[in-house]
Amino acid sequence: LYMLSKRLFPYSNLFPRLRKYKFIVYFIICLTIIILALGVYLYSIPIVSPNQPQCDMVWMSPSYARIRAFDETHTKYASKYNLYLYREQDVDKMPNENENEDGNEGFTSLDGIPALFIHGNAGSFEQVRSIAARCSEMYYTDGKFKEKYPHARNIDFFTADFNEELSAFKGLRDQVEYVTQAISFIVDLYPQNPNRNIILIGHSMGGLVARIAASRQQHESNVDIILTLATPHSDPFPWLPKTSDFPDEVGLISIYLLVDLMVPPLVVTPKSKSDHFFSVDAAKLLGVPIDHQGIVWCGQLREKLSEALIGISGLNTLQDRMKVFKKIFSGDRKELGPTPIFGLAKLKLKLLQSWVHLLSLTIFALKWTIIVLAIIQLRKVYTKFNNPPPTH
């Protein structure tokens, strides 16, 4: 490094004033080369061992029935968003579409427990298929789960389509309004449901949509449990609506991932927790490295998620439902989690997940820059009006 910097230094003769800063020039050149070399080396290091067990692949036969009765007559966002009912082919009972008393299309054969899936930033409504398909298989074809959960009910999965909008930057308020209206509509499809409750499942930013919508539904008590997958609950984006006014009567389960680069663990805990809050690192629990998108389809995780949903489907109280989640996601393993991350691999992970701190620092700097500039301008105006120019 010294010889390289010495070879580069003769070019400083073009700027004679730099000669007296020879040591500083050497230092800057060496530091830049070291940082670049370290960056290249860190980029080549895998975060987790390539020998680590991977997520099991999953298969399903999905079909989606559009809920036109809601999209065309019950919401002003009909031309923007869509609502679908998921049906696993050859497993789920297909709904009967006919006209209800108002002359609108409706579904009259729904007899399960409603659940609404909300996808995340630029996501797809079809991401519900992995969990929904496994829940159908467990209830209709796997007898051991009926023995384990004798009060279980089948789950009707609805899914909202936001046309791959960027929830983190625009459209979140419209999505919240749409989901709020959808919750009321879906619950009305189940007049025999004594508690009139719906399960909300949100992936990434969809979890924030679910939380805000649940707070708006508080007076109707239509939501008593929310399951979120890799959701930034700590409100890292200051330009979005806050979720601090979350009702304590709603249970919140936060499934997150240690190695998630988009939603790191430091943003998955709400600043204001509800009385019924439970969180778990799925990658550590299951011993497989799961990424941000893989959390909705990873075979090992969907097995536990589906069992938990089937387990709570026949329960009426929030306390009983939370006990099921805590029991299923508090597994006892001899070796917890992926291969431990040490040294430079851990440093690389922390650097990649540091976008939250960089965002906070950037917003803090911009805020105070604007304040200082405003004070300077006000001072100039004050000086101008209190010291008028002399008249001749």
DSSP sequence for 110-134 = --SEEEEEE--TT--GGGGHHHHHH
Query: DSSP letters along 156-213, please?
Result: EEEEEE-TT--TTTS-HHHHHHHHHHHHHHHHHT-TT-TT--EEEEEETHHHHHHHHH
3-state secondary structure of 84: strand
Contact assessment for residue 105 and residue 181, using Cβ atoms and an 8 Å cutoff:
no
Rg (CA), the chain: 27
Among candidate residues 204, 254, 306, 313, the one labeled active-site is: 204
Indicate the length of the chain as a whole number: 392
Q: Which of 148, 201, 210, 149 is nearest to 179 (CA)?
A: 210
Rounded to the nearest 10°, the torsion over CA 349, 351, 352, 358 is 150
Rounded to an integer, what distance in angstroms lies between the CA atom of residue 186 and that of residue 113? 10
Q: Is the dihedral of CA 188, 191, 193, 194 positive or negative?
A: positive
Name 252's bridge partners: 226, 277
Tokens at 285, concatenated: 């629990």
Residue 200: count other Cβ atoms within 10 Å of its Cβ.
Answer: 29
The answer to whether 244 and 235 are in contact (CB under 8 A) is yes
Q: Is 204 tagged catalytic?
A: yes
Catalytic residues: 204
